[in-house]
Amino acid sequence: METEWVEQDEDGVYITIRALPDGTRELRRVRFSRERFGETNARLWWEKNRARIQQQYL
């Protein structure tokens, strides 16, 4: 059975994670609040935090 949930990593950053039947997790989506991040800032944030997010949530 697959289960999805959303984690708020910090203000304006929402991460959708799915638990797969074999027990592993998959990063489905990272969403940024338009009020806190423009497109450029969101891209820079992701480049800076990608490894941490993958290690922390997966």
Q: pLDDT tens across 11-53, in order? A: 999 999 999 999 999 999 999 999 999 999 999 999 999 999 9
Nearest to 29 by CA among 42, 38, 41, 40: 42
- β-strands 25-32, 3-10: how paired? unpaired
- Per-residue model confidence (pLDDT) at position 1: 63
Q: Where are the domains of the chain?
A: 3-57
CA separation for the pair 25, 36 (Å, rounded): 27
Global pTM reads 0.86
